[in-house]
Every structure is written in C-alpha cells, then in structure tokens.
Chains A and B, each alone.
Chain A
Amino acid sequence: MKLFNNKSVYLLIPALLFLLLPLYGFFAAIVQSLSGGSGWTLEYYSSLFESSRFLSAIWFSIRTTLIATILSLIIGVLITRSFYPYLEHHVPRLLVWLPMLFPHFVWGYMIILLLSETGLAAQLLVEAGVITDSSAFPIWTRDPQGIGIIITYIWKEVPFVILMLLPVYSSIKPGYYDLVETLGGSKVRQFTAVEWPAIFPVLMEIALIVFSFTISAYEVPALMGTTFPEMISVLSYEWFYGSGWEDRPMAFAAMVSLSLLILAFSAAGFSILQKKRWRAMRGRSV
C-alpha cells in the first residue's frame, strides 16, 4: 500500500501515459525491422548497412543537420548576446520570434520563393544589374549540397535558440563582467569565464533538440532536397510507401538506426551535463 501513498507515483502517471504511445511505436518498429519470413532476422540491418543509398543518405543527413545545428547555435548566441537588453522589449522580441509561428513547410516554401533561380532575390539582382540573367543566380534550393535545407532550418531554429538563451543572458549578473575586468581579463575572458559556463549547458540541450528534430523531420528535405543525396527521412518515407511492401522493414530498420543514433547523442550530452562542474553551475546540490 505504501507505493500508492507515495505522491510521486501519481505525478508520474501522465508522463508514463504520454510515453506509452511513442514507446509502443518504437518497439513495434523494432519488431517489424527484426522479423523475417520465419522468425527473427538481422537481414534488413545487414542489407541496410551495405546499401550505398542508405549510407550516403545517413551521411548527408548527419552532415546537413550538424551544419544547420551548429550555425543556428552560433548565430543565435551572437544575436542574443548583442541584443539581449533590446530583445526584452516586446516588439523586437516579436519580430525575432515571428519565424517560429509558421510551419516548417511554409517557411521552406518562402525560401523557395525567395532564393530559387527564378525567385525574388534573383529577379531583384537582375533588375539591379548585378547579374545579367536569373540563371546566373547560384542554385540554393533543391541543390545537392543541401544549402536550401540548411538555410530553412537556420532561419527557423535561430529564433528558438534565442528564446532559450534569452533568460540565461538576462540572469547573468553584470557584476561578473566588472569582476573579470578588475582581475585583469579581456573581453574574450569575459565571454569564456562568465557567459560560456552559463550558456554551455543550455546550448547542449538546444543542440540535442535541434539536432534530433532536424535529422528526422521530413517536410523540409522533401520540399527543398534533391533525389540524390536525400535525407534519411525522405528515403525512409519512400521505402515505407514505395511500390512494394518488401522495402517496409528497411524503412523501419533505417528509422530504428536513426533513433539509436539520436539516443547515443542524447546520452553523451546528458552524461556531460551530469558532471559535477555543470551541476554546480546550475546551483544544484552536488
């Protein structure tokens, strides 16, 4: 009976219920990816890791996602630290957060309207006489380098990075900057000793969220990407809804592999944040 007297059990119930569906989905996917015609098999995984299409897709996904994530973080930090006193006012904050209100698909479409070879930017440059023909405009959407995907994600995620960092920057005591100065430190030291330790744990969490979302989301790479190389989500979708049923377990195997990759990244991230130093930073008992 004691178990039920414990309040924390009741408090956990919503979280457990919430997790039930995704966990069921995940285990169902694992089962699907492991079941062959007669019992368990690793066949799909071995063919997955031999498939050059899968390998190039996963490489392209990791590379594109990492570039988008890291650039979003850098730009987000630069904007936040330059403008945070200003961003605490309503109107500037609303302007920064505006991109967050639109679905990714809409934002991707906007990037196409803006940056495709026949887009607004190209036409303006032709009008201005900077380029002679709109075909001289660089290919930034549906390009093999994933530039369009990266730009869309950066534009969408930078406001999220700012949203997360703003309270951190607001909570840094201005006295710390003076302190570093009186100890003989430069502006660089002010960043490394005062700001970086405060933002590092938050950046780590943002990086994990943005990375997990970007690498597995479908709509933007489907809209902005090419047929080869393609993002892992696009490839899985094709395998899942492809002409035959036989590729379906491959789609599950690919998604399970991706989930494991994200799990590994998250575990690594959280184990770093669990270190005594970073727990002390957050003022928790260590």
Chain B
Amino acid sequence: MNHTLDVQHLSKQFNHDLILSDLAFQLEKGEILSIVGPSGSGKTTLLRILAGLETPSQGSIHMYGEEITFQKANQRDISLVFQQPLLFPHMTVQENIAYGAKLAGKKNKNKTSDLLKATGLDRFKNYFPSEISGGQQQRVALARAMATEPEIILFDEPFSSLDPKLRHQIRYWVRDFLVDQSITGVFVTHDTEEAMIMGDRLALFHEGSFQQIDEAEVIHKHPANSFVADFLGGHLIVDEQHYVPLKECSLEPFNEQEVRSYHGLLQHITFQNGQAVGHIFLKDLDHQVSLPIHEHVSGEEVTLYIKESSIRTFGGSAL
C-alpha cells in the first residue's frame, strides 16, 4: 500500500546552514499532521519544499508511490495556504475561489457554489476582499486552495494574523472541514495548543529534524527528550535525561522519605480556566514551571517537592 505522502531523508542546505536534516515521515489519506516548533526553525522551508517552491538538497518525496521531488509547484497536486490570505484584491470572493479552480484546470460552477456554501460565505460571494473580515478572508483562501482539488493541503501558520477569539473559532471550523472532506493535510504552527487541535499526530520540529512524531497524548506521557518536554510544557525537567510530570509536583511536603525539593520564587499569578496558576522560577534548575496554586502571594519564596519515584527518563519508563 502506497502512502499518500512519503518523505525520505529530506535535507536542505542554504549556503552552509543546514535547515532540514534527514527528515522522514509518511501520511495516509485523510490524515492531518501538525508540525510544531519554535519560530525560525525551518518549518516554512519544509512546506515550501513539499509545495515545490524550493528543491531539497537531498532526499525524496513520493506521492502515491510516484516521485515528485523535482516536479514544479504548478504541476503538483498540493495546495498551500499561506500565513496571509493573499486574496486577489480586484476579484470578488466568488471570483477568487473560481480562479483557483481555473488555474488548476478544474473549473466547475457547482463546485464554486458548493465551496461558498461549505465555507459559509455564500452571502459574501460578490464582496471584494477589502470588504470582509480577516477570518472570512482566510476562509476564502482555504476555499480557493480547495477548489484546485488537491490531494494534500499545506498550511503555513494560517491563523497567526488573526485575533485570539477568531483563531479559536476558525481552528475548529477548518479541522471539521478537512475531516469532512477527508483531506490530507500538513499543518505548521508554533502554537502547541493549535497543533493538538488541528493534527491527528504531532511532529515536534527543532534544529532541522523531528524530535518526536506521535499522538499528542503519547508525546505528553513519554516525551522523547528535554526539548520536547520543555516545548510542550507540563513537565519539570530535572536534567538532560530526567523529568517529572508537573501534576506530580507539589508545593506541600510529601509524607515520604525519598523526596527532592527545590527552592523557587513565585514570580506571577495568572488565572486560566478559573484556576490560579503560579509561575515559579526554580533557581537551581534555571527553569520556570507553572503550577495550579492555592493561598500564595506573588513574590513569595516557595519550595517545590517531588518524589524520587516520580522521576522518569526521557523516551522510557519511570526510574
């Protein structure tokens, strides 16, 4: 059985900088992979290579078993939704969507009107991009990408220019839309929450390679290394090999013998989901953690307790 997308040993070098190093992953039909990593880590370069806008220095890309590594962007059955909507300002919403289909040679009046309905933009079909909101513009951009009937849609942080509330709404909408149309997708973001909402699997990207690819729950339970644990949060990193899940840390002493403690400074208190969260800087570990707290005040010295039995090794089970 051929994978929808099969990437092997992909590397990209700009001058002497290695941006991508020996990347490999596979996607099945209808699967959505979220690639998450810090800004400027080369995620966009990876998408541009998949879209055909750049060529890799090494490695291969296959789609349904057929090699497309050096196929031009306009020959590939892959669409890219950019960070900005990039709508054609002189075309109406409807014309923008139809133009995508026209370029791909798949123009069909019914399809455009179906997409207008599916994106909830039917009412705005004769509006120009300057007359609709940022969220609506991004929906038009998605519909335009869809109109080319691609096998795969790539998303390059498409919601990063939207305000938080709109972002929340459109995430679920896009996710449902992709699942509904069983579209294979690669979704790039630097926001871990967004990555978990959008993707079936998560790929943590750092320094040119994937640190871990798996379902969000697996990654949370068994982070592969300190970068993964640090980037996702939710863990106290004891050293390069060991970590403790934050929910097993406490500001109250345990009645056990083998307990470690770290001194910390409660820097801020914020409120999330109705719960007070303390942001504590642990001087010994040079590391900041965020924990639900009670009855503490900002600026206070606190002590964090962990059981020795809670300490785990990266990529493995408990000690």
Binding site for B on A (CB under 8 A): 173, 175-176, 178-186, 189, 193-194, 197, 276-278, 280-281, 283-286
A280:B89 contact, CB within 8 angstroms: yes
- Taking CB atoms, residues of chain A closer than 8 Å to B129 are 280
Cα A180 to Cα B86 in complex, Å, equals: 10
13 contacts between A and B (CB under 8 A): A178-B48, A178-B80, A182-B78, A184-B148, A185-B74, A193-B99, A197-B89, A277-B128, A278-B90, A280-B89, A280-B128, A280-B129, A286-B128
- Taking CB atoms, residues of chain A closer than 8 Å to B131 are 280, 286
**Chain B 113-152 interface residues, beta-carbon cutoff 8 Å to A:** 128-131, 144-145, 148
Nearest residue (CB) in A for B129 is: A280
Nearest residue (CB) in A for B141 is: A179
Which of A175, A180, A181 has the most B CB atoms < 10 Å from its CB?
Answer: A181
- Digit string of B60-104 for contact with A (CB within 8 Å is 1, else 0)? 000000000000111110111010101011100000000110011
Choose one: B73, B86, B103; the contact of A189 (CB below 8 Å): B103
Having A179-B86, A280-B90, one finds 17 other A-B pairs with CB under 8 Å, namely A173-B84, A175-B82, A175-B84, A176-B86, A180-B74, A180-B103, A182-B51, A182-B52, A183-B74, A183-B100, A183-B145, A184-B75, A184-B148, A194-B88, A276-B128, A280-B129, A284-B130
Closest CB of chain B to A73's CB: distance in Å? 19
- Taking CB atoms, residues of chain B closer than 8 Å to A182 are 51-53, 73-74, 76, 78-80, 145
- Taking CB atoms, residues of chain A closer than 8 Å to B51 are 178, 182
- Taking CB atoms, residues of chain A closer than 8 Å to B144 are 183
Nearest residue (CB) in B for A200 is: B90
Closest CB of chain A to B78's CB: distance in Å? 7
| Nearest 6 pairs of A and B residues by beta carbon | A280-B128, A181-B73, A184-B104, A281-B90, A185-B103, A197-B90
Nearest residue (CB) in B for A173 is: B86
Q: Describe A's contact surface by its main secondary structure.
A: helix
- Taking CB atoms, residues of chain A closer than 8 Å to B274 are none
For residue B105, CB closer than 8 A to chain A, the reply is yes
B148:A280 contact, CB within 8 angstroms: no
Closest CB of chain B to A284's CB: distance in Å? 8
Closest CB of chain B to A175's CB: distance in Å? 5
Nearest residue (CB) in B for A179 is: B86
Cα A127 to Cα B84 in complex, Å, equals: 60
Nearest residue (CB) in B for A187 is: B74
Cα A102 to Cα B229 in complex, Å, equals: 68
Cα A179 to Cα B52 in complex, Å, equals: 11
A181:B128 contact, CB within 8 angstroms: no
Cα A193 to Cα B102 in complex, Å, equals: 12
Closest CB of chain B to A178's CB: distance in Å? 5
Closest CB of chain A to B84's CB: distance in Å? 6
- Taking CB atoms, residues of chain A closer than 8 Å to B128 are 276-277, 280, 286
- Taking CB atoms, residues of chain B closer than 8 Å to A180 are 74, 103
- Taking CB atoms, residues of chain B closer than 8 Å to A197 are 88-90
Choose one: A184, A186, A193, A276; the contact of B88 (CB below 8 Å): A193
A179:B74 contact, CB within 8 angstroms: no
B53:A183 contact, CB within 8 angstroms: no
Closest CB of chain A to B147's CB: distance in Å? 9
Nearest residue (CB) in A for B126 is: A276
Cα A183 to Cα B144 in complex, Å, equals: 8
Cα A189 to Cα B73 in complex, Å, equals: 14
Given A182-B53, A184-B103, A277 and B90 touching (CB < 8 A)?
A: yes
Choose one: A178, A183, A283; the contact of B103 (CB below 8 Å): A183
Closest CB of chain A to B187's CB: distance in Å? 16
- Taking CB atoms, residues of chain A closer than 8 Å to B105 are 184
- Taking CB atoms, residues of chain A closer than 8 Å to B72 are 181
Nearest residue (CB) in A for B54 is: A178
Cα A276 to Cα B99 in complex, Å, equals: 19
Given A180-B103, A182-B79, A182-B80, A175 and B86 touching (CB < 8 A)?
A: yes
Cα A286 to Cα B131 in complex, Å, equals: 8
Cα A275 to Cα B103 in complex, Å, equals: 25
- Taking CB atoms, residues of chain A closer than 8 Å to B89 are 197, 280-281, 283
